[in-house]
Amino acid sequence: MARVALVSYNPGEEPGADRDLPVLRAALEDAGAEAAVAYWDDPEVDWAGFDLAVIRSTWDYSWRVAEFVAWAERCAGLTRLANPAGVVRWNTDKRYVGDLAAAGVPVVPTRYLAPGDPVELPEDQEFVVKPTAGAGARYAARYTPRERETAIRQLARMHAEGLTAMVQPYVKNIDVRGERALQFFGGRLLHASRKGAVLEPGTPFDGDKVPHPRLAAWEPTPAELAVAERALAAVPDGSDAVLYARVDLVDGDDGEPRVMELELVEPNLFLWLHPRSLPVVVEAILKAAAL
Ligand SMILES: Nc1ncnc2c1ncn2[C@@H]1O[C@H](COP(=O)(O)OP(=O)(O)O)[C@@H](O)[C@H]1O
Ligand SMILES: [Mg+2]
């Protein structure tokens, strides 16, 4: 009997926000596995007692990255971890967007500003400032060139917290065509979703955002599939090293898809939107647990 840990975060007093978790756990148990939800930072968990630990919704990691990566490395020494610790280390730092660009993958043009770097901001177009360690649009905001002083205050605050910033042009097509998330599981396309633009003008970087506005199922185009597959091929250790992946795409000014984010740590699967994907996910997890 396969023993699988579904790795999440401790929601404290709040109800757990991962809607996939109870559904996935029940489906694994129906398939004959032993499935448990485990919090990544719970010192009581006996990771060696599982055949596989699948990172699912460790949504508090982005402000504890070093601790999280250290956990992943420790866990991977005790059991099979998906995705593997090396992939987690690489993917928790969005400087990987630069690695994808260097590998020839079309990405949203990105400049990195680490603490101490001279501040250079676009003067002729709207732009986005966001952290290299982030999720759920935390600390992300958009600015027109006239809002430069506000953007500089965001950068100062991020740098004081030791964060490296990413500066990108605001991709205008997102307002019309949205952002598409292509999810892969067990080496093949699982399903895709589309969501609306998250960054409303004038929302402060530390203000609340709706992370998945107007989420809906989406049929990926051949161009989207091609870019997603190129992104996966650029993963260090190869795409075979990953059990699951989500590739987020937006359309550039030329209308062609570009990678906004390659999520290999804790992608939300939105199984409630894609119920037919559940058996595919269960099968891939059981296969990985049996390796
Ligand atoms: N360059 C950009 N142009 C337009 N919108 C952006 C840009 N960067 C981020 N956004 C918006 O902010 C959201 C969060 O940014 P993202 O890079 O996906 O980080 P994360 O999801 O890890 O917080 C995106 O889903 C998108 O709506
Ligand atoms: Mg995102």
What pLDDT, in 10s, does the model give residues 114-146? 999 999 999 999 999 999 997 778 899 999 999
Backbone angles phi, psi at 177, to 5 degrees: -105, -5
Nearest ligand for residue 128 CA: 1
Please, how many CA atoms are within 13 Å of residue 220, restricted to the half-sphere of its CB? 25
Let me know if domain 175-268 sits in CATH 3.30.470.20: yes
Distance between Cα 8 and ligand 1 center (Å): 23
The pLDDT of 183-200, averaged and rounded, is 97
Map residue 81 onto helix, strand or coil: strand
Distance between Cα 119 and ligand 1 center (Å): 21
- Ligand 1 atom nearest to 168, measured from its CA: 1
Would you say 288 and 3 are in contact if contact means Cβ atoms under 8 Å apart?
Answer: no
> How many C-beta atoms surround the C-beta of residue 46 within 10 A?
10
134 CB within 6 A, ligand 1? yes
Distance between Cα 133 and ligand 1 center (Å): 12
98 CB within 6 A, ligand 1? no
Query: Is residue 169 pLDDT above 90, yes or no?
Result: yes
Strand ranges (DSSP E) for 47-131? Answer: 52-57, 80-82, 111-113, 127-131
CATH code of 3-91, in short, is: 3.40.50.20
Proportion of the chain above pLDDT 70, given as a percent = 100
> How many C-beta atoms surround the C-beta of residue 207 within 10 A?
10
